[in-house]
Structure 1
Amino acid sequence: MRPVVLCFSGLDPSGGAGLQADIEAIGQAGAHAAIACTAITVQSSQRVFSFQACDADLVKAQAIAVLDDLPVSVIKSGMLGTTDNIAMLTDMFAQGLITQGTPFVLDPVLVANSGGSLGDERTLVAAFRKLLPYATLLTPNTHELRALSGEQDLHTGAQKLCAQGTQAVLVKTSHDFDSGDIEQYLYLQGEMVYKSTLARLPGEFHGSGCSLASFIAGRLAEGDKLIEAVKAADQWIGQTLSKADAPHPDDASAQLIPNRFITNVVNTK
């Protein structure tokens, strides 16, 4: 069968982010998405109202069922929601329940793209720092990078996170709205190995970050090297955003939903 990416992510009823974004992006990358649902959120494409995290034992049981059944090539995590869930995933790596060396794309979600809190940031950051050494690639937005590293300078922060055990960090400036074009920098073992510039499109997008991370995970499952996967994801996410859906076309401030079902799927091989 197609290579499998096991995703730990929450349900977004609007379908813009979360596990639906994972499924669509990974499918577009050519792989199969399996899901361990970490939370049920109450949210629209514009706002998070509340959420209820799944019990860590339940999430773990979902993951074990997949790992025992399917040939999982890559792990990807998005919204974990609680320190218990973060600790559970950390323990799965530490105990060898996830095969050593399996690539792991970690999207360290602290705040929903639509602005809602997903838990106490300080405790989430402390828990994430124990998970970082197992990450092949960390894909934080600028707020998350600064919170995890304790550094305001993005490049210093990326290097610090690599020094703490994360193999690679993808620095994205999309959340720095006072900047011009979006710049992305890939740091591998503390050294910048790739830089890209993407045109900043008008508007804000709901689910762009998890879509990007999941597409990278899908390409890694397909056998791409890390730089190849990031380059392919850069091209793909630009297409999804340029063709995004507008749930509220009369409201210029409303978030758009990336159109992940595009025909021109890229391949850098």
Structure 2
Amino acid sequence: MLSGLDPSGGAGIQADIQAITSLGAHPLPLVSCLTVQDTRNVYGAEAVDADLIRRQLESLANDVPIHAIKTGALGNAQVLDTLVDFVRTMPDIPLIVDPVVKAAGGGNLADEELIRAMKERLFPLAEMITPNGEELALLGNSDDPDTAARNLQEAGCDSVLATGGHGIGFHIINTLYNHAPEPMRWEIERVNDHEFHGTGCTLAAAIAAGRGCGLSARAAISQAQNYVRHTVLHALTVGKGQRVPDRGILWEH
């Protein structure tokens, strides 16, 4: 996976490592950007050198079998282009993209150039993208989720899992838009009507782990949702902001 480093340990690369390990897969972590971040917000981010990431990817590909790829915050368009070049050499490997644009506290994690590059060059290569409601509206150019998802599919996305964790109400509704006649929806009881730091990262990483272990896309989504719910039921109070899913707690698949 290629994700940003969150010093609070709530989101980003640490969330990916913990989730993937918990689900029985072995993570290959590459850091895309370094952030100034806590459980409340993101205050700054600096991308890792794209050529260093290219060399890391090439080294891993020459040594380790790769069964799925997951991305989070990418840092800048140069890092994205390095990833795109690599993904094109492995067209049969599932690519799960968490299109991180903003932190829950409102801090920016992607500029206009990176957002445009995601839409034009990365999304068409992805098996699935997993935007939350705000990301879906921004990337799909519509406040109506169905219209936004359709716009993204028409622009080249194979499937869109619109996640409802950042919404309100007693239930979280995640909606999968793919080539089926109607979207598929999962309804999950919301825990304490709270938002948590890193659930989007955790969900996308868990889906990638499932796909890497041979599950179908729908089975991987179902497993990932159950896993995320388990982690937030045991969430940790780490700082003064949002609570953090406990991805280290024992979980039976």
Contact 1:42 1:48 in 2 (8 A): yes
| Aligned pairs (5 A) from 1:3-42 | 7-42=1-36
| Aligned pairs (5 A) from 1:54-133 | 54-94=48-88, 96=89, 99-120=90-111, 122-129=112-119, 130-133=121-124
Whether 2:187 is the aligned partner of 1:197: answer: yes
Letter in 2 for 1:45: T
3-state DSSP class of the match of 1:257?
coil
1:14–1:100: structure 2 CA closer, same or farther, 3 Å change rule?
Answer: same
In structure 2, what is the Cα distance between the partners aligned to 1:79 and 1:172?
17
Deviations 1:86-107 (A, max 9, x none): 222223234x2xx121100001
3-state DSSP class of the match of 1:260?
coil
Q: Choose from 156, 178, 182 the match for 1:188.
A: 178
Q: How many residues matched? A: 251
Partner in structure 2 of residue 262 of structure 1:
249
In structure 2, what is the Cα distance between the partners aligned to 1:62 and 1:191?
41
Partner in structure 1 of residue 207 of structure 2:
216
Letter in 1 for 2:242: Q
Deviations 1:152-189 (A, max 9, x none): 11122112222222221111122223x44110111122
Partner in structure 2 of residue 161 of structure 1:
152
Task: Give 5+ residue unaligned stretches, structure 2.
Answer: none
Q: Please report how far the alpha carbon of residue 112 of structure 1 lies from its aligned counterpart in structure 2 after TM superposition.
A: 2.0
1:128–1:140: structure 2 CA closer, same or farther, 3 Å change rule?
Answer: same
Q: Please report how far the alpha carbon of residue 193 of structure 1 lies from its aligned counterpart in structure 2 after TM superposition.
A: 4.9
In structure 1, what is the Cα distance between the partners aligned to 2:251 and 2:68?
24
Percent of residue pairs identical: 35
3-state DSSP class of the match of 2:225?
helix
Letter in 2 for 1:184: N
Contact 2:22 2:251 in 1 (8 A): no
Q: Please report how far the alpha carbon of residue 45 of structure 1 lies from its aligned counterpart in structure 2 after TM superposition.
A: 1.8
In structure 1, what is the Cα distance between the partners aligned to 2:188 and 2:151?
25
In structure 1, what is the Cα distance between the partners aligned to 2:204 and 2:238?
23
RMSD after superposition: 1.6
Contact 1:162 1:189 in 2 (8 A): no
Q: Please report how far the alpha carbon of residue 191 of structure 1 lies from its aligned counterpart in structure 2 after TM superposition.
A: 4.1
In structure 1, what is the Cα distance between the partners aligned to 2:110 and 2:97?
18
3-state DSSP class of the match of 1:50?
strand
Q: Please report how far the alpha carbon of residue 205 of structure 1 lies from its aligned counterpart in structure 2 after TM superposition.
A: 0.7
In structure 1, what is the Cα distance between the partners aligned to 2:152 and 2:110?
22
Q: TM-score by structure 2 length?
A: 0.93
Partner in structure 1 of residue 219 of structure 2:
228
In structure 2, what is the Cα distance between the partners aligned to 1:243 and 1:230?
20
3-state DSSP class of the match of 1:34?
coil
Contact 1:74 1:221 in 2 (8 A): yes
In structure 2, what is the Cα distance between the partners aligned to 1:191 and 1:140?
21
| Aligned pairs (5 A) from 1:146-157 | 146-157=137-148
1:38–1:191: structure 2 CA closer, same or farther, 3 Å change rule?
Answer: farther
In structure 1, what is the Cα distance between the partners aligned to 2:137 and 2:49?
29
Letter in 1 for 2:175: Y
Q: Please report how far the alpha carbon of residue 190 of structure 1 lies from its aligned counterpart in structure 2 after TM superposition.
A: 5.9
Partner in structure 2 of residue 140 of structure 1:
131
Letter in 1 for 2:136: L
